[in-house]
Amino acid sequence: MIQVYLVRHGETLWNAARRIQGQSDSALTQKGEQQAHQVGERVKTLGITHVISSDLGRTRRTAEIIADACGCDVIYDPRLRELNMGVLEQRPLDELTEEEESWRRTLVNGTEGGRIPEGESMSELAERMQAALNACLSLPEGSRPLIVSHGMALGALVSTLLGLPAWAERRLRLRNCSISRVDYQQSAWLAPGWVVESAGDISHLTEHAMDELQR
């Protein structure tokens, strides 16, 4: 069995301002840095052997802080990037037109094939996230990796591991610097392969982030 920890990046300036990030980037806030340090304190005794991160700036910084606490180097994997949100990237959420908001809602309301113009579908996102997770199976025996990625990306991954289509209604809340865990195992009472042990744990955080999912 291999255990893989999944961490969403810390709070960013654009999370707090309700601005669409996608594969564009925004720096961590002071609170986001604090959250990353709190993840590091939480996981540093878990025997983490690899920290694998999206190569976007907000995840890189989160991963660096966690890796320092765990005594690991960071491996960057572009497959762990956030959903490409096309023409809506960098836009304030509260300033979208009715049509633009309808595009965005197709990503969360169960619309099969939904996407923002020039962006990515949830199915395309889930496919590359699954490939990045499966790459952990090639790590040396006894490895315990931790993945740092993004809210939509991790939500798509965990949902598909639970057997939902990637484009299913979004009902899994993964707040900034939440920790989830998935295990690859064989069990008499569970389906073989990846199973979800826990999702969205924020018990290690002293304050909640004011990202868009908390309003």
Catalytic positions, please?
A: 9, 82
174 with 192: CB under 8 angstroms?
no
80 with 147: CB under 8 angstroms?
yes
C-alpha 155/C-alpha 161 separation (Å) is 10
- What DSSP designation does 4 have? E
90 with 25: CB under 8 angstroms?
no
Region class of 157: left (phi > 0), else alpha (psi between -120 and 50), else beta: alpha
C-alpha 75/C-alpha 5 separation (Å) is 15
What angle do the packed helices 122-134 and 151-161 form, to 10 degrees?
Answer: 80
